[in-house]
A and B are shown apart, each in its own frame.
Chain A
């Protein structure tokens, strides 16, 4: 348990890195990830630091990489993510990387611009094609009728082909043709009608196929229009309107021959353009494909470079000796690894003068570092969520590994649901590597995946507790033979049916009864004694099951509560021993333990005693433990009533010397209160008096020996600090602190023990919920005995399964999780846990990489 029992021993070290080797050494430190650096240049602005240029260049490169990634996503080019971990590149590689990235950016931007231009001309040509086609139709079919209804020859109008204007009987008819987005057509028509006062003829027709907008890539519906008018003023007006509506005007000739010629030209140009666009797209794809291969590696490299420079900004620069000085917290265990890393870095930079670290003494509290693996990190996380443990105090996490899933299972208590939970978590464990490689899974999924080991253990323990509660999807198993057998013939089951309806019979377990007991100590497989593993299955079908289960579970909760809290107090003793606060062992640990044991330890013993000493023959006379406890504190000693046959009925006193023992326990418990309250402050006061006396007596030597004796104890011992003051204020503070602590403990013992009753409450709720689900849903599905019943059962099972998963497993699971967590955080940890430390945040490339990814996403 060595690594996880207490946090790691840390030392504050000074790093001396030679200027040439500084970059490489820092990169090596980042790979090892075992040092938490302090910012020695806190008062310097971010823009005045030494490496601000390099960081700016890195930011630039990151911007280019983000741009490339977006382009790859647009082109649907998959980016290779092999999960490789390249080393941080040397500074000279940085320049190469920069130039490569800039070249790539320029190339892709150029290609994009070209592509857009090509697409634009493609669009224009397409529109031209449609306009020409429409023009052909318009002029060939009914152009004659529109333009000149009185003309007889069709060549007159269309024959000249010089100019758009036709001179016929002094009438100049010209036209403009173009395209306009479909949504604007109506407004366009209306406006043209208004400004021309109805003298312009406007013909619009939709283009069947949507056209692609070159800038955005969206599809737009457009329509062609032909505006026929007379005179130049109207032409100017129409042009202005077209500009306003962003309609494009195309020069269309009016002779069919010219139109045909132009159409052919447009077609050929379109074909050329199509091949050109194809080539450009292919080229773009190739460039992106080539860059996608290295994109991941580049990203990681750039992040590492930036992290290294950011850290180097925190170093002090000693220009006279040409070295960088940094300060960091380093775990003792990893000092050797760091020394080797610095050696490697110096070798890489080909620097002859070595870089080294030296530990320095400090009075600051080191950060708390728990070395966890993938199994324990989840449990450490839920402990740290309440508070990071103080430096070198006992860590509750290794114990939480078992007690947390166990207390959850006591509250969850269903083998079937536990099995499903264990299977789901097992699936997560099986596919662990694949899921870890995925990038963004969403917050809930990440949380659940992080707790997969916790959920797996919760499921396994739930199977165990479910088998003991004999509750599998609210049904019971009769494996070993139920001990309840209705033997007595006083149950007159031959009564008429109407008298029997609604009647219930209660079995009588009185041993050696004349007519035979309904409870026998034998079953299947010749295993004698009561039902050997778990609750007897007869209870599952009885109507007074809850009365029995309540008594059982409440007593079980109190027993486990007392054990859990006693364990917490014992852990506080470990803390006192380690921090050499022997006074605390005598003044806090012993009275706390005695107080707990006198009150609730005695209750636990009584619970076990009552289970063994009383049976159904004296069931009317069995003592009520709760009333007995209350009477114990009130020191009320009621005499036992007498039975009918003269024997004593043990309702209040059930063993000899009970009165004197209980009185003694109460007195001892009450005496523990002033013991906890006063002994420590008085002792400290007495010690201060002695120290002051000896200081007055012998100037120098004595105090030094006393003070040095005090400083030999490990760091962060707040209690002993009061020695130095030696004034009345110190004593008052200690008194107040001790008073609060004592009252909190004493009242807390009672309330915390009652708080453990939630183990009973939640398991009752869970079993009732699953029973209701069975009674109201699945049982009804078995009622029909034909084909229809099969279909009904099929549907009802689906509903039952969804409700079981959603309500019983997810909701009840979360609820039990929360309550088990609360029991640990409050009832268990307030016996020993300080939780005032700060977490160790080392300079680690893995962490910068993952946070950078989170920021990006």
Chain B
């Protein structure tokens, strides 16, 4: 269910972290450094998003609200 978000984001960071280092033009002087930066950024940011996504996949318990907030949620967010 809802694979769109996972697919999009995974492919985005794959493009940055796996494809990017190969696609980077050879004439850049700091090519090695930029490749390291791309890979590390992709790994860190993807992991961070993944942890945030997975902890909400099957939440074990829900948020607790003031009744006013509940009424507002029902009205505004649907």
Q: Which chain B residue has the least Cβ–Cβ distance from A400?
A: B40
**A486 interfacial by beta-carbon distance below 8 Å:** yes
Q: What is B's interface to A at a CB cutoff of 8 Å? A: 1-6, 9, 30, 32-33, 35-37, 40-41, 44-45, 47-49, 51-67, 69-71, 73-74, 77-78
A468 touching B48, Cβ below 8 Å: yes
> Complex Cα distance A548/B59, Å?
9
Q: How many whole Å from A566's CB to the nearest CB in chain B?
A: 12
**A739 interfacial by beta-carbon distance below 8 Å:** no
Q: Collect the chain A residues with CB atoms within 8 Å of residue B61's CB.
A: 506, 508-509, 548, 616, 619
A401 touching B37, Cβ below 8 Å: yes
> Complex Cα distance A555/B51, Å?
8
B41, B63, B70, B74 interface centre (most CB from chain A within 10 Å): B63
CB < 8 Å neighbour of B73 from A468, A486, A544, A559: A486
B48 touching A410, Cβ below 8 Å: yes
A529 touching B40, Cβ below 8 Å: no
Q: How many whole Å from A490's CB to the nearest CB in chain B?
A: 12
Q: Collect the chain A residues with CB atoms within 8 Å of residue B78's CB.
A: 485
B60 touching A614, Cβ below 8 Å: yes
CB < 8 Å neighbour of B6 from A398, A481, A519, A529: A529
CB < 8 Å neighbour of A529 from B3, B32, B37, B69: B3
CB < 8 Å neighbour of A534 from B52, B57, B58: B52
> Complex Cα distance A674/B47, Å?
34
Q: Collect the chain B residues with CB atoms within 8 Å of residue A689's CB.
A: none
A401-B33, A506-B63, A529-B6 known; A521+B1 contact, CB < 8 A: yes
**Considering the complex of A and B, which 5 residue pairs feature the smallest CB-CB distances, nearest first?**
A529-B2, A528-B2, A1-B32, A542-B63, A615-B58
**A530 interfacial by beta-carbon distance below 8 Å:** yes
CB < 8 Å neighbour of A509 from B52, B59, B69: B59
13 contacts across the A-B interface (CB closer than 8 A): A4-B32, A505-B65, A519-B59, A528-B5, A530-B2, A530-B53, A533-B9, A541-B63, A560-B48, A563-B47, A608-B54, A615-B60, A616-B59
Contact with B along A515-544 (1 / 0, CB 8 A): 000110110000111111111101101111
A1-B33, A552-B55, A612-B57 known; A484+B63 contact, CB < 8 A: yes
B47 touching A398, Cβ below 8 Å: no
CB < 8 Å neighbour of A508 from B45, B51, B62, B71: B62
Q: Collect the chain B residues with CB atoms within 8 Å of residue A612's CB.
A: 54, 57-58
A530 touching B77, Cβ below 8 Å: no
Q: Collect the chain A residues with CB atoms within 8 Å of residue B55's CB.
A: 551-552, 555-556, 611
> Complex Cα distance A402/B1, Å?
33
> Complex Cα distance A2/B32, Å?
6
CB < 8 Å neighbour of A486 from B30, B36, B40, B70: B70
A541 touching B69, Cβ below 8 Å: yes
Q: Collect the chain B residues with CB atoms within 8 Å of residue A614's CB.
A: 58, 60
> Complex Cα distance A504/B71, Å?
12
Q: Collect the chain A residues with CB atoms within 8 Å of residue B51's CB.
A: 552, 555-556, 559
Interface size on A, residues (CB 8 A): 73
Contact with B along A462-494 (1 / 0, CB 8 A): 001100110000000010011111100001010
Known contacts A5-B32, A493-B70, then 19 further A-B pairs from the complex at CB < 8 Å, ordered by chain A residue? A373-B30, A398-B36, A406-B41, A406-B44, A482-B77, A491-B70, A493-B71, A504-B64, A505-B70, A507-B64, A508-B61, A528-B2, A535-B56, A543-B66, A548-B61, A611-B58, A615-B58, A616-B61, A622-B60
> Complex Cα distance A612/B51, Å?
11
A538 touching B52, Cβ below 8 Å: no
**A846 interfacial by beta-carbon distance below 8 Å:** no
Q: How many whole Å from A805's CB to the nearest CB in chain B?
A: 26
Q: Collect the chain A residues with CB atoms within 8 Å of residue B2's CB.
A: 521-522, 527-530, 532
A528-B4, A608-B54, A611-B54 known; A506+B62 contact, CB < 8 A: yes
> Complex Cα distance A317/B59, Å?
80
CB < 8 Å neighbour of A503 from B5, B48, B67: B67
> Complex Cα distance A504/B65, Å?
5
Q: Collect the chain B residues with CB atoms within 8 Å of residue A491's CB.
A: 67, 70
A402-B44, A529-B3, A533-B9 known; A548+B63 contact, CB < 8 A: yes
> Complex Cα distance A3/B36, Å?
13
CB < 8 Å neighbour of A552 from B9, B52, B58: B52
Q: Collect the chain B residues with CB atoms within 8 Å of residue A615's CB.
A: 57-60
Q: Collect the chain A residues with CB atoms within 8 Å of residue B67's CB.
A: 491, 493, 500, 503-505
Q: Collect the chain B residues with CB atoms within 8 Å of residue A541's CB.
A: 63, 65, 69, 73
> Complex Cα distance A571/B4, Å?
36
- The A591-622 residues at the B interface (CB cut-off 8 A) are 608, 611-612, 614-616, 619, 622
> Complex Cα distance A3/B30, Å?
8
A560 touching B63, Cβ below 8 Å: no
**A248 interfacial by beta-carbon distance below 8 Å:** no
Q: Collect the chain A residues with CB atoms within 8 Å of residue B48's CB.
A: 410, 464-465, 468, 556, 560
Q: How many whole Å from B12's CB to the nearest CB in chain A?
A: 11
Q: Collect the chain A residues with CB atoms within 8 Å of residue B62's CB.
A: 484, 506-509, 518-519, 616
Q: Collect the chain B residues with CB atoms within 8 Å of residue A4's CB.
A: 32-33
Q: Collect the chain B residues with CB atoms within 8 Å of residue A522's CB.
A: 2
**A727 interfacial by beta-carbon distance below 8 Å:** no
A399 touching B1, Cβ below 8 Å: no
Q: Which chain B residue has the least Cβ–Cβ distance from A549?
A: B55
Q: How many whole Å from B77's CB to the nearest CB in chain A?
A: 6
Q: Collect the chain B residues with CB atoms within 8 Å of residue A465's CB.
A: 48
> Complex Cα distance A539/B65, Å?
9
Q: How many whole Å from A722's CB to the nearest CB in chain B?
A: 35
Q: Collect the chain A residues with CB atoms within 8 Å of residue B60's CB.
A: 509, 614-616, 619, 622
**A376 interfacial by beta-carbon distance below 8 Å:** yes
- The A370-424 residues at the B interface (CB cut-off 8 A) are 373, 376, 398-399, 401-403, 406, 410
A560 touching B41, Cβ below 8 Å: no
Q: Collect the chain A residues with CB atoms within 8 Å of residue B74's CB.
A: 485-486
> Complex Cα distance A535/B77, Å?
16
> Complex Cα distance A507/B2, Å?
22
A530 touching B56, Cβ below 8 Å: yes
Q: Collect the chain A residues with CB atoms within 8 Å of residue B37's CB.
A: 398, 401-402
Q: Collect the chain A residues with CB atoms within 8 Å of residue B64's CB.
A: 504-507, 542-544
B40 touching A402, Cβ below 8 Å: yes
B57 touching A611, Cβ below 8 Å: yes
Q: Which chain A residue has the least Cβ–Cβ distance from B73?
A: A486
Q: Collect the chain B residues with CB atoms within 8 Å of residue A527's CB.
A: 2, 4-5
A535-B52, A538-B73, A559-B51 known; A399+B36 contact, CB < 8 A: yes
**A545 interfacial by beta-carbon distance below 8 Å:** yes
Q: Collect the chain A residues with CB atoms within 8 Å of residue B69's CB.
A: 541
A468, A485, A529 interface centre (most CB from chain B within 10 Å): A529
> Complex Cα distance A398/B73, Å?
47
> Complex Cα distance A315/B30, Å?
37
> Complex Cα distance A373/B48, Å?
30
Q: Collect the chain B residues with CB atoms within 8 Å of residue A406's CB.
A: 40-41, 44-45
> Complex Cα distance A509/B60, Å?
7
Q: How many whole Å from B64's CB to the nearest CB in chain A?
A: 4
Q: Collect the chain B residues with CB atoms within 8 Å of residue A398's CB.
A: 32-33, 36-37
> Complex Cα distance A518/B49, Å?
24
Q: How many whole Å from A455's CB to the nearest CB in chain B?
A: 17
A403-B44, A406-B44, A507-B62 known; A530+B57 contact, CB < 8 A: yes
Q: Collect the chain B residues with CB atoms within 8 Å of residue A608's CB.
A: 54
- The A615-662 residues at the B interface (CB cut-off 8 A) are 615-616, 619, 622
Q: How many whole Å from B36's CB to the nearest CB in chain A?
A: 5
Q: Which chain B residue has the least Cβ–Cβ distance from A613?
A: B58
A403, A482, A548 interface centre (most CB from chain B within 10 Å): A548
Q: How many whole Å from B40's CB to the nearest CB in chain A?
A: 4
> Complex Cα distance A511/B51, Å?
21
Q: Which chain B residue has the least Cβ–Cβ distance from A538?
A: B63
Q: Collect the chain A residues with CB atoms within 8 Å of residue B49's CB.
A: 468, 533-534
Q: Which chain B residue has the least Cβ–Cβ distance from A612?
A: B57
Q: Collect the chain B residues with CB atoms within 8 Å of residue A373's CB.
A: 30
> Complex Cα distance A42/B33, Å?
41
